Every structure is written in C-alpha cells, then in structure tokens.
Amino acid sequence: MHARPRPRPTGPGPHRAVTLLVALVAVGFLVYALVRTLGLERGFPLVPLLAYAPLVLCAAPVALLGAALLRRWWSAAALALAGVLLATAILPRALDGGSTAQEGPNLRLLTLNVHFGHTRPDTVVHLVREHGVELLALQEVTPELAEGLDAAGLGDLLPYTVDHSAPAAAGGTVHSVHP
C-alpha cells in the first residue's frame, strides 16, 4: 500500500500570513533605522518617535531571532541590517558617556516644556533668575506666551532670542546670554 502525497493547499495559508507578518515587521525596523541613520526625522511625529531608538535597538535582536527561527531569511537579513544601522548610530555615544565635545566653558542650560503656552511667564523668568540660566530652550511656545515672556523681563536676562513660536504645541524658542 502506497501513501498518496497530500495535496498542497492553494491560496493564502498560514505560512504566507506568517511570512507577510514577519516581512512587515522587518520593513518597519529597517525604515525606522534608515530614518534614524540618514537624519530624515523632521517635525512631528518622527522626532518624538525616534526618541525610542535605544529601545528599538534592544528589540531588533529579538525580532531577528524570531525571523531566523521561522526561517524567513530575507526578513532576518533586513532585521540584521536595521540592527547594525541602529547600533552604529547609538552605541558610540552610549559607550563613551555621550561626551564628544572638547573641553570648554561651562554653560548653565534650562529646557522647559511650557505645555501649549500655559506656563506663567513670570514663573519662567523666576526660574532663569534663580538658577542663573545662560541658555533657555522652551518647547510648545505660543506667540502669546512669547509676548508674555518679553513683558515679564526675560529679554533683560537673556537678550538673544530665536523665536519660532506657533499655536498649540508646534512652537519653540531659544534664549541666551550669548549671541
């Protein structure tokens, strides 16, 4: 008695679905790594999303192992490339403590998210005065808050300003004692 070969199912099956899912994950990692490596992040949502690059780097080997165990070799290769790209961008700064600058003068810096411009201008000016801030970077600065900061005397403490204030969370300003 001869066993007949079982006919192969036609159409999309569970194997194709797994291959597609693994490929989509690999493409996601690779696109993320390329955006990070090539410096293509501009504005929302890419800039905040790329803050998670160290976590994505930690997840890449796990995804690579999964692709390899499932024998999805093209996806595994894409995940390996994504991991290498992310590692070359992140690890050098992480391993040397982030110190790539040469010795120079100290600068007292304050960065503050003013929550859609809802922070009181006098509170910001008080913080600058209290801590002897020389460089102030503000996020989510509205035009109204920028005017309020000027009226509260921030310009007397930090006379040099780059103002990109905008409605809601889109604006930002930098104030400095140095030109």
DSSP letter (8 states) at residue 175:
E
Element of type H or E holding 174: strand 172-176
Contact 170, 139 (CB under 8 A): no
Q: Which two tokens stand for residue 132?
A: 């002897």
Q: Yes or no: say if 151 and 124 are a contact pair by the CB < 8 Å rule.
A: no
pLDDT attached to residue 12? 55
Does this model's pTM top 0.75?
no
Residue 128 Cα distances to 132, 133, 138, 157, angstroms: 6, 5, 12, 8
Distance from C-alpha of 18 to C-alpha of 111, rounded to nearest angstrom: 45
pLDDT digits (tens, 9 = 90+) for 134-148: 999 999 999 999 999
| pLDDT tens profile 62-89 | 999 999 999 999 999 999 999 999 999 8
Q: Give the residue from 105, 125, 106, 103 showing the smallest Cα distance to 114.
A: 125
Tens digits of residue pLDDT in 87-129: 998 888 778 755 555 677 789 999 999 999 999 999 999 999 9
Closest CA to 85 of 40, 23, 31: 31
C-alpha to C-alpha distance for 23 and 75, rounded to whole angstroms? 5
